[in-house]
Structure 1
């Protein structure tokens, strides 16, 4: 019995060391060697001030910005729901989002709204949306910021990215934070030209 307890204790110590220390250090080492940012978060800076992170979405709801996909954007409470596409509560939530988008963007119709603007991502932290989601918002931003729509279309098209690693995710996507940072820069540039 004493021998079995000693074996159990030693096995527990070895497994604790392996999984509590060895595995995390291995993953950190792989991240440091395999990424250009040494496994740290990729920050987005404006004038040497951190305004967000590349891999974690932020909520934008102001009329003067491209609005993000719906979601909580709270890393402490991420995750999707188990509600199916025919669940009455889910359908009500989607309709509320559609109504909100139409109220904020009076120049569009329901058919202009891409699916990703009324559905949250699986993690609730997706920093991207579709190019269609950006294009849909151009008339509103043009009016609010007094920037010609063709300049905004060009801005959006310059920020379209392909899938991660060339094959993961949608064919085209736009990083919302980077697009909004570029939008502020364009607005400042055009303001100095006026």
Structure 2
């Protein structure tokens, strides 16, 4: 790992644990095992360092676009269950050490104060929402879904995985249970709802 990557990796960890305001270039330098002046020589300021961390992580997150290659020939519940598993497994593999998860907490907080952070968060989530909205719109046109708002459906589906990913940073793993089983339960509720159907009500 070169010096720049070491600094960016350390910044990701320190920003996540301390927040932008609480993080210091000295602490980041210690974590990266470099001189503090090296950070200023390469990034000029803490603000620029945050921007570079954001850009680097946006590029990594954008690679998740491959997760949204849904097979339109299978049934909707299977499609969404498979998609949910892929998202959950990818988030789990990328965040075993917790630093990415804590960084996301920091981004949501900083996004309310820093337009550049809000812009990057918006662009990433908009990509996800657009891809899934297109899928729901296609299924509506194919007569497989009732006439719902596809964007609202996409937002509801993805919000579950964002929320549970963040939640895992503050609760015990046993609280969530087995990931695959949890995804199946959620997908069942998402696709079938919580109200009894008329068939179930009879008798």
TM norm structure 1: 0.29
Q: Which has the higher helix share?
A: 2
Q: Which has the higher strand share?
A: 1
Q: Which has the larger radius of gyration?
A: 1
Highest RCO, 1 vs 2 (Cα 8 Å, sep ≥ 6): 2
TM norm structure 2: 0.28
